[in-house]
Amino acid sequence: MKKFYIKKYHKNEKKKIFVTGALGFIGVHWCKKLLENGHEVYGLDIKSVNLELKKYKKFHYFKYSVFNTKIVKKLIIKTDVTCHFAGIASPKEYLINTSKVIDLTVLPSLKIINYCKKFNKKLLFTSTSEIYGKSEKIPFKEEDDRMLGSTSTKRWCYSTAKALVEHAIFAKLKETNSSFVIFRLFNVYGPLLKGRVVDNFIEKALTNKKILIFGKGNQTRCFLYVDDCMDIFYQVLQKNVKGKILNIGNNKETSIETLAKKIVKLTKSKSKILVQSVEKNSKMKKEGYEDIRRRVPSLRLIKKTVKYKPKISIEEGLKKFIKSVQK
Ligand SMILES: NC(=O)c1ccc[n+]([C@@H]2O[C@H](COP(=O)([O-])OP(=O)(O)OC[C@H]3O[C@@H](n4cnc5c(N)ncnc54)[C@H](O)[C@@H]3O)[C@@H](O)[C@H]2O)c1
């Protein structure tokens, strides 16, 4: 049988990189970062090609589903690194499309892991801060215990599905010394983001519609601007980091109410901010919505691994994002 070896690269050598979910929020920014640095990118997504990426000669687009194992296998063999980013990351979807979230997160990932193992290719996988569930041990360390609710509560399907993929990566790749990195992303935001809290508030503010916050409003999140996230990803790629889970985030907490106020101020909006307890929203209660009070990454490991210094403050990031939406 033909043996596949991981090619050894010089730090600045140009690579062929396969990106699934290439036309999503993280995907487009990552493809651009790679292309701007001279790499050759093979992007796969189910959307129509992104005009900005089409301009790059070294961008090859494949409008296929990640469930199409024939094309996925071909692209894994053809390239040096597989970045598996395709998925569903919108919290609303965990409640209304639970089955789709599970299938899309798990099934293609298992195939991709097997192919990366078989053909000895490096895998970068985007996991999530949701992995930690409702743990109150702040900040979350990569090796910490997870704390989730019942499997009859739809909300936990995303966390559980991503965790299963992480397990499979460890079982199939770690033990064979194959090369992988799992990124656990904590609220990355910026232009092109859709279906998450930041873009939702901006859209409401720009149209002067009321901004509804579920819970008490004092729940916090740590927001990382997408350019800072891409810098970290790129350093990880360049340094040929292997066999690690890394929290990717900022450790500055912002309450959801403060976020809404900042957005209203920056957009000079007339939107009213309304805080509604989940108990009062029967639809959300029925669907098993449960919010997490705090979600803060431990940055110990990422700081050990790369030069970590987010450059963009939340105000600056929001201004850039708002400007891109207004365009
Ligand atoms: N943005 C964040 O803060 C964040 C946080 C945690 C985890 N993540 C993870 O990062 C990854 C990217 O997230 P994102 O924020 O860019 O989301 P996104 O929804 O913008 O991008 C996902 C992309 O996957 C594509 N996709 C969906 N089904 C597909 C299929 N069957 N075949 C091929 N492509 C398909 C979509 O068309 C979309 O372009 C996801 O795996 C997500 O779980 C993101």
Handedness of CA 234, 235, 238, 241 (dihedral sign): negative
Q: What is the CA radius of gyration of the chain?
A: 20
Band of residue 319 on the pLDDT scale cut at 50, 70, 90: very high
- DSSP code string of 188-224: EE-TT--SSHHHHHHHHHHTTPPEEEES-S--EEE-E
The amino acid occupying position 319 is K
CA–centroid distance, residue 120 to ligand 1 (Å): 24
CA–centroid distance, residue 86 to ligand 1 (Å): 4
Q: Kindly report the average pLDDT of the chain as a whole number.
A: 93
* SS3 at position 230: helix
Q: What is the pLDDT of residue 282?
A: 65
Q: How many residues does the chain have?
A: 327
How far is residue 259's CA from residue 201's CA, in Å, rounded to a whole number? 8
Q: What is the pLDDT of residue 284?
A: 66
pLDDT at 95 over 90: no
Pocket test for ligand 1, best of 20, 23, 25 (most atoms within 8 A of CB): 25
319-327: average pLDDT: 96
Pocket test for ligand 1, best of 23, 85, 125 (most atoms within 8 A of CB): 85
CA–centroid distance, residue 131 to ligand 1 (Å): 16
Band of residue 320 on the pLDDT scale cut at 50, 70, 90: very high
Band of residue 1 on the pLDDT scale cut at 50, 70, 90: very low
How far is residue 25's CA from residue 285's CA, in Å, rounded to a whole number? 29
Q: Dig out the tokens for 258 from the structure.
A: 């403060």
pLDDT at 152 over 60: yes
What would the pLDDT profile of 51-82 be if each residue is shown by its tens digit? Answer: 899 999 999 999 999 999 999 999 999 999 99
Atom of ligand 1 nearest to the CA of 125: 41
Domain boundaries, the chain: 16-188+223-251+296-310
Atom of ligand 1 nearest to the CA of 47: 37
Band of residue 10 on the pLDDT scale cut at 50, 70, 90: low
Burial 108-138 (b: 16+ CB within 10 A, else e): bbeebbbbbbebebbbbbbbbbbbbbbbeeb
- For the segment(s) 16-188+223-251+296-310, the CATH number from 3.90.550.10, 3.30.70.260, 3.40.50.720, 3.40.1390.10 is 3.40.50.720
149-153: average pLDDT: 92
Q: What is the pLDDT of residue 235?
A: 97
